[in-house]
Structure 1
Amino acid sequence: MSNGDDESADAPEESADGTDAEDASEVPATAVTAESLGERLDDAEAALENAETEADLDDVEASLDAIASDLEDADLEAPDENEDEEAEDPAEELQTRIDDLREELEAARGPYAEDVQAILDEAAATVRDTRWTEDGEPDVRAAVSTFLDAAEEELDDEFPASGDDLDDHAAVLETVGEATVEAGLDADDDEKTIAALLEAAETLEEAIEDAEEWADLTVVEQLRARGFYDRVTGENRKDFPPELNVVRIAEAENDPERVLMALEKLESDFMQENCIDALRRMAPEEAFEPMHEAAQKRGRPEIEVLGKIGDERAVDTLVEFVDSDNPPLQKVTLRALGEIGSREATQAVADALADDESVVRSQAARALGLIGDTRAIEPLADTLGDGEEETDVRAAAAWALVQIGTERALEAAAEYDDDRAYTVQIEAEKARDAAA
């Protein structure tokens, strides 16, 4: 029999509201729903509209972070595609609202001293790196001066920009940017000061953008400003277009500067070809850099000019093309290396005596003759003595031995003064006569 105590031990306890305690423990916490998250976003949006300080904005950001975290953890039911194809996914809709509010939050922040510094650093770089016209330079100086006046008033400091040197003007803009940050301006307490500096910096930025730079001019305007057309007169105006007239006058006067100016600015194939032809005939040292740059891209006309200039700095670039399996490129390269005459190229050129193409082998032989390195005598003599070699290649080898001109080279060539090939025989006779 039960004594009553057993019944009390087995019976579930009642909570204060009369429900079973066990049942109460199983009641879930308030579930995160699309509706609850939407209401919290409404509150955050209202708080953002009413925010007056950075601290208020920080609170809004914290609220958005919490809502985003809860949204990520929530298991919101997506719409049934079969029931309503146009229904939006509540999670996506909520995330879009969060993203939009974050953008509004960032727009509401500041401005900060760092924003002013960023604009000034960029303006300084533009002032320093841009090529300004004669009209543009004074406009830039005036814009900087106007900004410095405003900065001195707002920061109660002096920022002098002395002289006309734009590098000095750029440096003082960077100094103002640093001073603005170091002043410890508060986004709330010093809002008016920061806003005034920011407005002045943006006005400076616009004025610099409006100042005339070389890139704003047409090609003809740039050339005219640099005196390109100055040498053309009524008496020597013969060719059309006038730019070709200038190039021909410059060549006649041995003035490579104008030719290089035209090469840089005039992009038509016609003018490019005429400029390079002029440089090939003039062979000015001033043309080395642009020709060398183009030669690195396998520009054959420019390689020809390098050969005429004869600067040994081109050798390392050119020897890379000797075994390129591109006969037109190989021929012009070998000719240029021969004209440059650097013995550093001897081995690479001598290796080309074994190329598959006879035109390359022939040009390699001639290049060795121009270089004049006595180390080439043996491979040239071998080529000359090869009965199966093409006649023009053997004749080129004989010619090269004559060009080297040492006793050993002449003797090697003179042996063939009765050769079956007339062109070889002619070179051998020259060698015999020279050695006599």
Structure 2
Amino acid sequence: MSNGDDESADATADGEVDAEPEGAEDADDNADGETEANDGEELADVEEFESRLDAVEADLEDAETETDLDAVEADVGAVEADLEDAEFPVPEPEGGEDDETDDDEEPEDPKEPLEARVSDLRDGIEDRRGPYGEDVQSAAGGAAGTIRDTRWTRDGEPAVSEAVSTFLDTSGDELDVEFAADSEEIDALADSVDTVGGTAADGRLDADDDAETIAALLTAVDDLESALEEAEEWGDLEIAEQLTREGFYDRLTAENRKDFPPELGVVRIAEAENDPERILLALEYLDSDFMQENCLDALRRLGPEEALEPVQALAKRRDVPAVEVLGKIGDERAVDMLLDFVDSGNPPLQKATIRALGEIGSEEASQEIANVLADDEPAVRSVAARGLGLIGDTRAIEPLSDRLADEEEADEVRASAAWALVQIGTERALAAAAEYDDDRAYTVQVEAKKARKATA
């Protein structure tokens, strides 16, 4: 009988091997310089990709025309496509079993730095492209927007006109086209600058063949923008100078110059002459709390329709005096905005808002105000009742009657409810108020007697 060692020895002696030792196939592959993935596909070579990318970078550096850049971009695309399909060997963690390493730290994927280089190449190609006629159009459009959107002074407008004229002449020489503005008006000047941009972008300019022309046009736009920066615009003036040029101080004379600051005197004169425009100028330009307060006081007394938009802009910031002015103006366009403040939880703002809605008189606000009859603050409930009376909506009769009938309600609120019923003035409303002509509260009795007299 022989053991396994004898059989192994005999097989070796005869020169026959029944099976390769474990790992022999890998050893042969490594000897031939080939590495295969688990699925049999050949693994990618990082150095090969790096070499290809080095070559593309060199080509990009040497590129001079759009055609050269197109070729470089095609090469980048080929590398990127191959990189997407490539499988790389999985890196082994550094260090041995005895090394203290972070178990959560994964080795860097070899594909990531290659992808980063591809991305950098694409950015580099875009940086090298152009400029194009479309770039002239974009730059000219920006300058035209500056011309339109800026408020120029009387001295600034001629400077803008001269700058545009120079730009049109230069651009016309470069493009062999005659450009001219239709008039000296600001919009016409801006339109003419846009026309130059549109002409440059209509396909007549080639990025390679007409590179010098495109560069000259971009320089002309830069010169135009520099000239626009030098032209005097409204914001360059001091506030007093702006107001002077607006004619704000024209009505101020030695005889009527009684107040300090003089702007207060102008506001008071404007109010006396029913001239809201000057008051609105002061409201726009003078941001001191003192002048804002005096301007709003004057507008509240005048209640001019012209003040709606600027005052509404202030009221949106929960400015109570501005809300009060909206009530005096009485324009229903303010109702939607004011309704947001009715149940704000801010009693001063609520009271001002409800009064304003009552003065405007829109029945659209009736339900929102009626809801406030249950507010925690008696003063707010009282103003809500009076607001409903000012509006005069008959749907408010029932909730007002309920307030009046509530013996636990504050007399201030009950008196306001009785007043509101009298203001509504229908037979049903007057009858509901007249029942309380012997009420415990004198203020309620007064309104009840008015109602009874009206129904007699």
TM-score, length of structure 2 as denominator length:
0.78
1:58 to 60, 70, 76: 70
Distance 2:368 2:51 in 1: 80
How far 1:305 sits from its partner (Å)?
Answer: 0.8
Instruction: Encode CA deviations 1:104-147: one digit per residue, 9 max, x unaligned.
Output: 55444322212111111222222222222222222222121111
Which residue identity lines up with residue 171 of structure 2 in the other structure?
A
How far 1:100 sits from its partner (Å)?
Answer: 6.6
1:109 to 106, 113, 129: 129
How far 1:314 sits from its partner (Å)?
Answer: 2.1
Aligned position for 2:285: 265
Q: 1:63 to 1:236 in 2, by over 3 A?
A: same
Instruction: Encode CA deviations 1:360-381: one digit per residue, 9 max, x unaligned.
Output: 2211221222223344333333
Aligned position for 2:270: 250
Aligned position for 2:169: 149
2:443 to 412, 423, 426: 423
Q: What aligned pairs does 1:282-361 form with structure 2 within 5 A after superposition?
A: 282-361=302-381
Q: 1:54 to 1:77 in 2, by over 3 A?
A: farther
How far 1:263 sits from its partner (Å)?
Answer: 1.4
User: CA contact under 8 A between 1:238 and 1:245: conserved in structure 2?
Assistant: yes
Instruction: Encode CA deviations 1:72-117: one digit per residue, 9 max, x unaligned.
Output: 86669899799xxxxxx99998888777766655444322212111
Instruction: Encode CA deviations 1:166-208: one digit per residue, 9 max, x unaligned.
Output: 2222222222222222243222222222222222122222222
How far 1:24 sits from its partner (Å)?
Answer: 11
Q: 1:421 to 1:80 in 2, by over 3 A?
A: same
Distance 1:346 1:37 in 2: 76
Aligned position for 1:276: 296
Instruction: Encode CA deviations 1:389-419: one digit per residue, 9 max, x unaligned.
Output: 2111111122223333344433333332222
Kindly indicate whether residue 191 of structure 2 is the aligned counterpart of residue 171 of structure 1. Answer: yes
User: CA contact under 8 A between 2:43 and 2:89: conserved in structure 1?
Assistant: no
Kindly indicate whether residue 260 of structure 2 is the aligned counterpart of residue 240 of structure 1. Answer: yes
| Number of residues of Structure 1 aligned to a counterpart in Structure 2 | 410
1:189 to 201, 209, 231: 209
How far 1:287 sits from its partner (Å)?
Answer: 0.9
User: CA contact under 8 A between 1:68 and 1:98: conserved in structure 2?
Assistant: yes
Distance 1:79 1:212 in 2: 67
Instruction: Encode CA deviations 1:221-279: one digit per residue, 9 max, x unaligned.
Output: 32222122222222222222232232222222221111111212222222222211111
User: CA contact under 8 A between 2:46 and 2:110: conserved in structure 1?
Assistant: no
Kindly indicate whether residue 38 of structure 2 is the aligned counterpart of residue 27 of structure 1. Answer: no
Distance 1:96 1:345 in 2: 62
Which moves more between the two structures, 68-77 or 123-132? 68-77
How far 1:433 sits from its partner (Å)?
Answer: 3.7
Amino-acid identity (%): 63
Distance 1:208 1:415 in 2: 76
Aligned position for 1:380: 400
How far 1:164 sits from its partner (Å)?
Answer: 1.1
Kindly indicate whether residue 135 of structure 2 is the aligned counterpart of residue 135 of structure 1. Answer: no
User: CA contact under 8 A between 1:398 and 1:424: conserved in structure 2?
Assistant: yes
Two-structure CA RMSD over aligned residues (Å): 3.4
Secondary structure of 1:110's aligned partner = coil
Which residue identity lines up with residue 410 of structure 1 in the other structure?
L
Distance 1:103 1:407 in 2: 82
Q: 1:361 to 1:52 in 2, by over 3 A?
A: closer
Q: 1:76 to 1:344 in 2, by over 3 A?
A: closer
Distance 2:225 2:80 in 1: 38
User: CA contact under 8 A between 1:161 and 1:168: conserved in structure 2?
Assistant: yes
Instruction: Encode CA deviations 1:275-324: one digit per residue, 9 max, x unaligned.
Output: 11111111111111122233334332211111111122222332333333
User: CA contact under 8 A between 2:341 and 2:350: conserved in structure 1?
Assistant: yes
Distance 2:68 2:412 in 1: 90
User: CA contact under 8 A between 1:119 and 1:205: conserved in structure 2?
Assistant: no
Q: 1:40 to 1:78 in 2, by over 3 A?
A: farther
User: CA contact under 8 A between 1:54 and 1:109: conserved in structure 2?
Assistant: yes
How far 1:347 sits from its partner (Å)?
Answer: 3.0
Q: 1:24 to 1:144 in 2, by over 3 A?
A: same
Distance 1:75 1:61 in 2: 28
Aligned position for 1:86: none
Q: 1:127 to 1:421 in 2, by over 3 A?
A: same
